[in-house]
A and B are shown apart, each in its own frame.
Chain A
Amino acid sequence: MYTAFQLKERHRAVSSAVATQRLEGLNVDPQTVADMYRIADGQATAAQVVDKIKQRVAAGEFRVKPA
């Protein structure tokens, strides 16, 4: 579907997006990063991943457990 060059650029966009969030002082969880690579590979859409994140929010996956 994508050429090797396009895939490289799309994967670079994932790294760039994660780095942008870190600069903002926010972290991106590994599950979301994996989903972002699926978007980059054309196996999922951004809308699907956003819906999945919302479901995970509802399931309480993003809650911080007290130490």
Chain B
Amino acid sequence: MAKYPTDGSDPYVDPQSGVLLNLLGIVDQAELDNVEGALVAVRVQELAYFRRPAPSISPICRPYIGTYLGTFIPGQGRFGQSTFLKAKRDLPAMSRLRAMRPKSQGRWRANSFSKTWTRRNSANGLATILVN
């Protein structure tokens, strides 16, 4: 007996039994239910064991990933390129970052970035701003 009401024009049911057409060729609804119960349970279990592999991201870039403008693309975040440059262009955010600079850690460095903090201070400060 069919599980759901159907008419003869439905191309997805077996015309004789009214059971949903299936790859196993089952035409009995009770048997189909039993098989569905077994097969789906195994696949649900398989899904429960699936773990998405962690994306490979530079440790330097990690504080920015997923916190800044949602621009995270798995495996493509790299320090000094897209994410960090966007952060530098966001001047209000950088101003707030500078205002939060604790004196004990506020050490300006004349490196290639000229008047920027150490990467650790920038990362922690930016993450704090974005969280708040």
Contacts and interface: CB of A to CB of B under 8 A. Distances in A.
Given A10-B49, A13-B48, A54-B24, A62 B42 contact: no
- In which size bucket is the chain A interface? 20 to 34
B45 A27 contact: no
Interface residues of B, number: 21
Interface string B35-60: 11111111111101100000000000
Contacts, number: 75
B28 interface: yes
B26 interface: yes
23 contacts: A13-B45, A16-B44, A16-B48, A17-B45, A20-B41, A21-B40, A21-B41, A25-B33, A26-B34, A26-B40, A27-B33, A29-B34, A32-B38, A32-B41, A35-B42, A46-B43, A46-B46, A49-B42, A50-B43, A57-B26, A62-B31, A62-B34, A64-B28
